[in-house]
Structure 1
Amino acid sequence: MLLAFVAVFLVTFLAAPLLGAGWYWDAGNALGYAAGAGLLYLTAFGRGTADLRVHHRLGQYVLVVTLLHAFWFLLGDATVTVHLRSAAPAGLWLGVAGLLLQGALVTGALLPRRWRLSREHPAFRRWHRALALGAIVTAGWHVLDSGFYLPQPYQMLLLAAVAALAGWGRDWQRHWPGHVWPGPRGFPVIVALVVLLFVAVRNWPA
């Protein structure tokens, strides 16, 4: 899991590590990148997970971080609300779509089996993965459309490559048996640390 965070945040620092938009916007965007890293990890290693409870709990945490990212701006910047009420950029609506897809992912997995779209496990896994890939595409497009921390085209290509690797159907769990570290309990700690580091570097006095 830590590798997903390192890969995502490292790409944002490659070209302009000191580029920032003020601590408030940097913190909110860091939450978004953290949620994206969590989503990529869950998609890459969700197949064949030994303990589904860990997968479900991490999915809930990722959704909470995504909600924090969204409401951070809705409650703290009136410009975002104005955009949503008027002709908002396509990237903003794609972010909303990604949030809704993540909500469907978590809700669908937690529903009793008799209420799910399919009672058969293989069919459930297929639509669950389809929703995950949809969330990656919409959230990724949302990030690339903004591109504030990705001023160079190669950064966008690298981030797209990381997302593509996560969405690839291969079972990555066989190659990294300890991939879940530090687990659900450590996830909030990692998020807090990367957000603080992101904000500190972006707002470092020139």
Structure 2
Amino acid sequence: MFTITSVLFVSFLATPGLGAGWAWDVGNGFGFVAFAGLLYLSKIGGSGRNVRAHQLLGFVVLGVTVTHVYWLLLLDAAVIEYVKPGAPLYMWTGIAGFLMLVVLIFISLPEYRLRLHKRYALFKFWHLGLALLTIIGAGHHIVVSGFYLGEPYQVALFLLLVAIVFFGDSFLGKREADTRQSSWVFLGLGVFCVAAFAGIRNVPF
């Protein structure tokens, strides 16, 4: 998928061999894949024939995000210091993005959505708004942490990628949302990309 490979590619442009050990890089690889999943979700509309695909992928992306969070918390004791009062702002925006994703997914389930929003148009408005805030929070978390995107041109390309995903239909023609991509394909490619993300940074060539 364009979104996963492009997000990871940008992180390799400046210092492809820069890493912090297998545990840290695998955990952050899951974070990059989760962000790519958020972008891809924005391309698979949750209406018509794509409803089920959109919902399933949402749960897969949530699972990858949970893996990113708890992988680092369990394997690196120092990470707990970054979720305490006084932690950097980018950590709080990442946490906020994670919590908004949880809320976004569960209030979109029919049994909850119909209780909160009787009109579909109103639900769609709030759903898109919360999704945008989730992506902004996660994107800020990645960019401002600065470890893998340490150069200004990397940040610029990263933001350009986000813009292309959101607005590229006007220039690229057919929407990626017009095809139902399997969540298993995303998950399989994501695991492969995490292995590549960590392997390139830790295996001497």
Residue 4 of structure 2 aligns with which residue? 5
Aligned to 1:102: 101
Q: Which residues of 2 match residues 49-198 of structure 1 at below 5 A? A: 50-112=49-111, 113-116=113-116, 118-168=117-167, 174-176=174-176, 179-181=179-181, 183-198=182-197
Distance 1:35 1:202 in 2: 19
Q: Report the TM-score when normalising by structure 2.
A: 0.90
Moved over 3 A (4+): 167-181
Measured on the aligned residues, the alpha-carbon RMSD in Å equals: 2.1
CA-CA distance at 1:165 after TM superposition: 2.9
Q: Which runs of 5+ in 2 are unaligned?
A: none
Partner secondary structure for residue 58 of structure 2? helix
How far off is 1:125 after superposition? 0.9
- Note if contact 2:3-2:39 (Cα within 8 Å) is conserved in structure 1: yes
Give % identity: 37
Matches for 1:37-56 after TM superposition, within 5 Å = 37-46=36-45, 50-56=49-55
SS at match of 1:99: helix
Q: Is the 8 A contact 2:62 2:101 kept in 1?
A: yes
Paired residues, number:
203
Assess, with a 3 A threshold, how the Cα gap between structure 1 residues 152 and 173 changes in structure 2: closer, same or farther.
same
TM-aligned CA deviation for residue 163 of structure 1: 1.6
Shift in Å, 1:49: 5.6
2:143–2:155 CA contact under 8 A, matched in 1: yes
Between the aligned partners of 2:12 and 2:180, the Cα distance in structure 1 is 25
Q: Corresponding residue for 2:17?
A: 18
Q: TM-score, normalised by structure 1?
A: 0.90
Q: Report the secondary structure of 2:24's partner residue.
A: helix
| Bigger mean CA deviation after superposition, 46-55 or 70-79 | 46-55
Paired AA for residue 146 in structure 2: G
Q: Deviations over 1:4-41 (max 9, x none)?
A: 11111111111111111111110000000000000001
| Distance of aligned partners of 1:190 and 1:200 in 2 relative to their CA distance in 1, 3 Å threshold | same
1:98-147: per-residue Cα shift (whole Å, max 9, x none)? 0011111111111414323x121111111101011001100000001112
Q: 1:177 to 1:31 in 2, by over 3 A?
A: closer
Q: Which residue of 1 aligns with 2:29?
A: 30
Task: Give the Cα–Cα distance (whole angstroms) in 2 for the partners of residues 102 and 33 of structure 1.
Answer: 15
- Shift of the 49–38 alpha-carbon distance from structure 1 to 2, 3 Å rule, reads farther
Q: Following the alignment from structure 1 to structure 2, what is the Cα–Cα distance between the partners of residues 147 and 90? A: 13
